[in-house]
């Protein structure tokens, strides 16, 4: 004992003696209970389920589970006495001082038991120590060097403690973890438990094993931002049968406490608790963090920080991005980038205030520009980008708007004198071609800088279109306004010397002109394609009034296109912008001439087939009816969580709009300045009496002739389509695919009698008769006066394409289907994905390498095995999205920074190779990541290279897949080439997945689509996608199985194309644990079913054990009187969680009702797909309790297979994946859906085909 603690020891000794007396008395009373007659009352199962089990008020164990301490060891003594034994002393007493770490001696204790003051054996790891419950230990104390775990030569002791702290060490590489406890007198390393205490330590050992496996996983994979599904996969691969998801959730509090303790004891910059998998575990299991002592870290393996290849960049890209990714960009300058501004903080994002002395001296605010000092409010406080990158609010709006610049109220500040006589006088306006403003001559066509009444607004810049004098306004100028870079979406990332042409003009007083500006048209050099990767020319000094212009800007879609100096003026008093606006309005306004309507460069006449808004005609039937009876009355004593369900089901098509109606124009006339049309309505299969069943079997291009007519305004027309009659015996094969929006009909339908009948003879004249072969009708009357459908544009040859971050090749596959690209080169670092790409693209050179290593070799001149400049005509890719993904909320780690920096590498590929077309695909969050900073810099970089740029968020479900998947698509076109538009929606989709615009500081940008509310084709559902696939069992791993039926739906026929064999490949699925399989079997096969439909019963498992029923001991604060108990933890009463409330091996997972109230009832977990619904975003690892939610087959008791996930992405059945089941799931989940790639490719094909035809 320590000398300075003698008084404390005496006091503690007295307390221990009193405690001992109480303990002996309690022990005696509990060992010899008075016999009482027990009365047995019959209880219902419902009462058993809701009965609150009685607990000890000290150890919080259920009374029927308590085990009593058998008593003190023979000849045992109290702790402070035992510690005086000479056998435990490591010091002679002659030491001058004792190291601080040895002031509290460390010994070992074996054959130990832990008990409370009532004599109940207690687990010391259940939170009792943290709650200051007095726990004591008995056992044999041994010296620290002793290895024998028997009681031999041990010093028997009792009443050791109470335990002040316990710890585990050895997670950092030791073969066996060390358990230790700390009392007021000593630290003890625990050896072997007593026989009576062994079950407690056995369970603790299993928990420690779980923690060790989890820690090994985190230390090995933390750099990859592993997901919850990745963790489950690792546990399954560990080979330990007890390490299941249920065991993990059961002991999540223990696991997270140890991870948190490790973080506290370890390196400050290594926080395992913030990895996505741990945060998901915390949320799912309802973990709460208590104040714990720091964990002891022993010798062992140290965590090595991974070294990443830094982004290899060209000089131009580096100059733009180096301040955003300073640690991820390779630079030859050892001094690092010049410290200008971080570009990310609030100060850097702000606009110049225009009020401080520095701003007033700037040329753009009318000053001299001599001071050359930054705005005082924009002085960057630091270059610590890390501080901004730790922000979790990725979609926070900035403080400064990027919006269409409104016309400012300008005031005249300079004297105006007209030069010469008026050259034109019209309606009281006298037009001049020259004047003096403030003594400076200004002429028509000059560029000028304008004053503004707002002091914080930079001087506007405009081109003088014409000048006139009129009473009473006085001298006035009409200007075409040019936007500065910070008036566009680029904000403060823009080049301050670059201006953008916009279709905006205004009238202003001539005296508001401050000075003239110099604006030059910057054209790309003739050797632009060959000059990639070279050192850019240094920019000229910014004198405040010299600018250049090379691009036009669309402020609605944030699109940048090549500037064309259109001189449309025919008179002195005309403006090119005004003429363009007039032409645009004419283009958007229907004009009738001799019963022909001209609209959007198309001619509509009698015989034209048109798309109409769905509201133009009311069909009596609908494809997906709202199931208002989905919430039914059930026995809540069995289905105890059913009360949480609502009608609204994620993944349902209840809110999906109808596709366009289709009508054949019969007559055209005008009525009160409105154009009216009479149309014959064609029915789709889903509009008939057969409804959904016929819709799933018929081709999506099928229509039915009817005698239904309606008269509508031409405003209901949204576009053209094309129809053809064909013989029912010889249906068209490729005709619908040879051009846009082609439909055919073989039968007529009477909606009044619900009968199908033969098409009348006059209808058979529409299109081509017979076998559907174009131009080969069977009769002379085959060809009619009806408008003939156009065909897709043809290319001389597809573009030579390079796919970077290629994955298994989803994007390339879609571009190949569009006929726009031939992928010659692909770069993919993951071997399994690279092999999958090679399997499906035999003629492609696939590089299994880091893209940075590839680019370094190319830039070093190694072109023998790599493509050279001018060879790559199209560059496509999707840089890994872990850092941007909304499914990865906690993304500030170094690995995510590295992944994000791969955007820089990808842009360097573009700068070096200078392809004609550049496509970047990423998750939707790429748009708003870091206040749009990465997107802004990406656009700025492409503009600096010379590219035209458009981007937007697209919903993949709009292009023919049964899945919601919103993705950013950015397309860039080389200067001189037309910029493709983003594709219009082709299929209707659920409204909840179609929020595709995005806002930044109050300004909303769209993707430019015209069709926003509907589309030409119906939605594709789960039934369309997978109903023809053979039935398989849980864990099926047969890579090839025969189809057992013919394809049913249009989608299935497309997936099982002529390239597919008679064998189905990759229809394999993950094997679930016994209890998970039992839960899946209990999920009903009805729409909207999930864990809330599980019955609270006991069922046998396939391993021979039985599940337990879930008890509800608490009446929650949210309940109403008369309702059964619904709380599973005392936190339902408003107090803290009690670890002893946790229940295991239950059919209803205890963790879900525990935290459901604050997590939207965990809707969708253990959810079945709905036959008439759609898939959630396909991820890399389908788990019943994972983030995707509904991953169970609609009818079979298993999770979806690899092939079913591939069908949800639109991969044809012949497409091969490679590796393990998890490798294949990862390849599917990371891929771009091929139908989305095809839609993008078709838009590129349209514009390039026009270039080819113009060249001819």
Taking only Cα atoms into account, the Rg of the chain, rounded to an integer number of angstroms, comes to 37
C-beta separation of 172 from 297 below 8 A: yes
> What's the Cα-to-Cα distance from 884 to each of 33, 348, 927, 1057, 1135, rounded to whole Å?
65, 22, 9, 36, 37
Torsion of CA 47, 50, 56, 59, to 10 degrees: 150
Burial class from Cβ neighbours inside 10 Å (0-12, 13-18, 19+) for residue 729 reads exposed
- Helix (H) or strand (E) run with residue 1251 in it: helix 1234-1255
Q: How far apart are CA 415 and CA 439, in angstroms?
A: 8
Task: Give bridge partners of residue 970 from the DSSP assignment.
Answer: 920, 951
Structure-token pair, residue 203 = 């369970």
CB of 1196 closer than 8 Å to CB of 1079 = no
Give which of 943, 961, 974 is closest to 500, Cα–Cα: 943
Between the CA of residue 895 and those of 134, 224, 392, 554, what are the distances in Å?
A: 45, 6, 16, 36
Q: Distance between the two ends of the chain, CA-based, in angstroms?
A: 101
**What are 855-862's contacts with CB under 8 Å, separation 24+?**
855/312, 855/905, 855/908, 855/909, 855/912, 856/312, 858/912, 859/312, 859/314, 859/533, 859/912
**Which of 1120-1125's residues contact partners 24+ apart within 8 Å by CB, and which partners?**
1124/46, 1124/50, 1124/636, 1124/637, 1124/640, 1125/50, 1125/52
- For residues 798 and 843, give the distance between their C-alpha atoms in angstroms, rounded to a whole number: 15
909, 855 in Cβ contact below 8 A?
yes
3-state secondary structure of 349: helix
Which residues are registered as beta bridge partners of 140? 110, 156
Kindly report the three-state secondary structure assignment for every residue of 917-976: EEEEEEEHHHCCCCCCHHHHHHHHHHHHHCCEEEEEEEEHHHHCCCECCEEEEEEEECCC
Closest CA to 49 of 1075, 1083, 1126, 1121: 1126
What's the CA gap between 110 and 91, in Å, rounded? 23
β-strand partners of 112? 193
Lookup: tokens for 318: 């580096």
Q: How many helices (H) and strands (E) would you count in the chain? A: 26, 41
**Backbone φ, ψ for residue 1075 (5° rounding):** -70, -35
**Annotated active-site positions, please?**
881
CB neighbour list of residue 922: distance below 8 Å, 6 or more residues apart? 878, 879, 881, 884, 967, 968, 970
In whole angstroms, what is the distance from residue 854 CA to residue 832 CA? 19
Q: What is the DSSP string of 737-776?
A: GSSSSEEEEEEEEETTTTEEEPPPTTGGGSS--TT--TT-
> Do the beta carbons of residue 23 and residue 117 sit within 8 Å?
yes
Residue 276 and residue 1187: Cα distance in Å, rounded? 11
- As a whole number of angstroms, the distance between CA 1095 and CA 1148 comes to 7
Helix axes 198-221, 228-237, angle to 10 degrees: 120
Three-state secondary-structure class, residue 862: coil
What is the 8-class DSSP label of residue 1139? G
Q: Is 203 left (phi over 0), alpha (psi -120 to 50) or beta?
A: alpha
């Amino acid at each position: 004992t320590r000398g300075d603690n003698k008084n404390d020891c005496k006091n503690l000794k007295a307390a221990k003696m009193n405690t001992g007396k109480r303990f002996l008395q309690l022990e005696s009373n509990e060992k010899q209970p008075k016999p009482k007659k027990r009365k047995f009352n019959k209880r219902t199962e419902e009462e058993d389920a809701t009965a609150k089990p009685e607990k000890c008020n000290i150890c919080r164990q259920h009374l029927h589970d308590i085990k009593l301490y058998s008593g003190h060891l023979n000849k045992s003594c109290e702790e402070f006495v035992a510690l005086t034994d000479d056998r435990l002393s490591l010091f002679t007493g002659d030491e001058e001082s004792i190291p601080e770490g040895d002031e509290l001696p460390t010994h070992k204790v074996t054959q130990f038991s832990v008990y409370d003051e009532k004599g109940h054996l207690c687990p010391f790891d259940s939170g009792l120590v943290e709650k200051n419950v007095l726990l004591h230990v008995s056992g044999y104390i041994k010296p620290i060097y002793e290895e024998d775990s028997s009681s031999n030569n041990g010093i028997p002791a009792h009443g050791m403690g109470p335990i002040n702290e316990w710890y585990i060490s050895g997670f950092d590489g030791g073969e066996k973890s060390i358990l230790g406890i700390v009392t007021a007198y000593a630290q003890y390393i625990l050896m072997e438990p007593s026989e009576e205490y062994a079950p407690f330590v056995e369970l603790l050992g299993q928990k420690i094993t779980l923690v060790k496996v989890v820690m090994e996983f985190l230390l090995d994979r933390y750099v990859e931002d592993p997901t919850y599904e990745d963790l489950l996969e690792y546990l399954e691969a560990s080979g330990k049968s007890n390490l299941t998801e249920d065991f993990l959730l059961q002991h999540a509090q223990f696991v997270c406490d140890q991870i948190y303790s490790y973080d506290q004891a370890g390196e400050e910059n290594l926080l395992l608790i913030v990895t996505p998998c741990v945060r998901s575990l915390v949320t799912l299991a309802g973990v709460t963090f208590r104040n714990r002592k720091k964990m002891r870290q022993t010798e062992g393996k140290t965590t090595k920080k991974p070294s990443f290849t830094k982004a290899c960049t060209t000089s131009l890209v580096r100059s733009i991005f180096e301040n955003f990714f300073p640690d991820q960009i390779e630079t030859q300058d050892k001094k690092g980038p010049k410290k200008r501004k971080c570009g990310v903080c609030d100060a850097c994002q702000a606009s110049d205030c225009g009020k401080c002395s520095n701003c007033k001296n700037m040329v753009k605010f009318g000053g001299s520009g001599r001071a050359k000092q930054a705005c005082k409010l924009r002085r960057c406080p630091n270059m610590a980008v890390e501080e901004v990158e730790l922000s979790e609010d990725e979609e926070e709006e900035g403080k400064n708007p990027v919006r269409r610049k409104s016309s400012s109220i300008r005031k005249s500040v300079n004297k105006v004198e007209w030069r010469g006589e008026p050259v034109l006088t019209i309606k009281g306006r006298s037009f001049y071609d020259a004047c003096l403003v403030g003594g400076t001559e200004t002429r028509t066509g000059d560029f000028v800088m304008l004053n503004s009444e707002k002091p914080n607004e930079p001087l506007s810049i405009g081109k003088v279109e014409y000048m006139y004098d009129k009473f009473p306004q006085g001298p006035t100028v009409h200007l075409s306004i040019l936007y500065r870079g910070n008036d566009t979406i680029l904000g403060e990332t823009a080049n301050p010397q670059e201006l953008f042409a916009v279709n905006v003009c205004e009238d202003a007083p001539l005296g508001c002109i401050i000075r003239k500006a110099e604006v030059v048209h910057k054209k790309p050099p003739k050797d632009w394609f060959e000059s990639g990767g070279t050192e850019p020319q240094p920019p000229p000094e910014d004198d405040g009034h010299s600018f250049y212009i090379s691009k036009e800007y669309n402020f609605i879609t944030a699109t940048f296109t090549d500037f064309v100096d259109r001189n449309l003026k025919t008179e002195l008093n005309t403006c090119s912008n005004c003429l363009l606006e007039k032409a645009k309005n004419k283009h958007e306004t229907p004009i009738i001439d001799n019963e022909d309507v001209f609209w959007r460069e198309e001619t509509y006449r009698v015989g034209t087939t048109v798309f109409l808004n769905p509201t133009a005609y009311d069909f009596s039937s609908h494809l997906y009816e709202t199931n208002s009876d989905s919430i039914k009355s059930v026995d809540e004593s069995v289905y105890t969580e059913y009360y949480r369900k609502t009608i609204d089901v994620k993944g349902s098509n209840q809110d999906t709009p109808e596709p366009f109606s289709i009508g054949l124009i019969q007559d055209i006339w005008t009525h009160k300045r409105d154009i009216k049309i009479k149309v014959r309505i064609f029915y789709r299969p889903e509009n008939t009496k057969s409804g959904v069943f016929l819709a799933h079997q018929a081709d999506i291009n099928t229509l039915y002739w009817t005698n239904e007519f309606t008269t509508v305004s031409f405003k209901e027309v949204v576009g053209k389509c094309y129809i053809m009659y064909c013989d029912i015996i010889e249906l068209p094969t490729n005709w619908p695919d040879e051009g846009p929006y082609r439909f055919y009909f073989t039968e007529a339908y009477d909606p009044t009698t619900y009968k199908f009948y033969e098409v009348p003879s006059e209808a058979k004249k529409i299109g081509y008769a017979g076998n559907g072969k174009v131009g080969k009708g069977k009769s002379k009357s085959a060809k009619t006066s009806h408008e003939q459908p156009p065909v897709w544009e043809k290319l001389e040859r597809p573009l030579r394409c390079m796919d970077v971050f290629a994955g298994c090749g989803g994007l390339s596959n879609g571009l190949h289907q569009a006929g726009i690209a031939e992928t010659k080169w692909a770069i993919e670092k993951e071997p399994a994905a690279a092999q999958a790409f090679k399997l499906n693209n035999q003629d492609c050179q696939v590089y299994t390498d880091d893209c940075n290593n590839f680019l370094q070799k190319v830039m070093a001149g190694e072109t023998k095995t790599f493509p050279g400049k001018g060879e790559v005509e199209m560059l496509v890719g999707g840089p890994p999205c872990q850092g941007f993904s909304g499914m990865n909320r906690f993304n500030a780690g170094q690995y995510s920074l590295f992944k994000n920096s791969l955007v820089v590498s990808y842009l360097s590929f573009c700068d070096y190779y200078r392809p004609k077309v550049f496509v970047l695909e990423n998750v939707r969050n790429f748009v708003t990541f870091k206040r749009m900073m990465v997107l802004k810099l990406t656009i700025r970089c492409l503009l600096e290279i010379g590219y035209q740029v458009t981007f937007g968020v697209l919903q993949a479900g709009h292009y023919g897949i049964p899945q919601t998947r919103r993705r950013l698509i950015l397309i860039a076109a080389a200067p001189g080439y037309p910029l493709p538009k983003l594709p219009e929606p082709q299929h209707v989709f659920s409204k909840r997945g179609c929020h595709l615009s995005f806002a930044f500081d109050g300004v909303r940008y769209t993707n430019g689509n015209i069709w926003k509310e509907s589309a030409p084709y119906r939605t594709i559902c789960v039934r369309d996608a997978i109903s023809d696939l053979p039935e398989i069992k849980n864990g099926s791993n047969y890579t090839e199985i025969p189809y057992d039926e013919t394809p049913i739906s249009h989608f299935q026929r497309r997936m099982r194309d002529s390239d597919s064999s008679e064998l189905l490949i990759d229809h394999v699925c993950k094997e679930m644990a016994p209890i998970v399989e039992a839960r899946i079997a209990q999920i009903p096969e009805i729409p909207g079913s999930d864990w809330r439909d599980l019955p609270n019963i006991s069922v046998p498992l396939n391993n021979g054990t039985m599940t337990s029923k879930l008890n509800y001991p608490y009446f929650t604060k949210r309940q109403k009187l008369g309702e059964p108990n619904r709380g599973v933890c005392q936190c339902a009463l408003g107090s803290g969680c009690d670890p002893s409330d946790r229940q295991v091996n239950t059919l209803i997972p205890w963790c879900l009702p525990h935290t459901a109230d604050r997590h939207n009832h965990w809707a969708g977990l253990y959810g079945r797909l709905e036959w008439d619904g759609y898939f959630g975003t396909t991820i890399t690892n389908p788990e019943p309790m994972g983030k995707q939610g509904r991953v169970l087959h609609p009818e079979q008791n298993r999770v979806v297979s690899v092939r079913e996930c591939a069908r949800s992405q639109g991969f044809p059945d012949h497409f091969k994946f490679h590796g393990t089941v998890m490798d294949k799931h990862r390849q599917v989940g990371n891929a771009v859906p091929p139908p989305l790639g095809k839609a993008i490719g078709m838009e590129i094909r349209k514009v390039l085909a026009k270039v080819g035809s113009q060249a001819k």
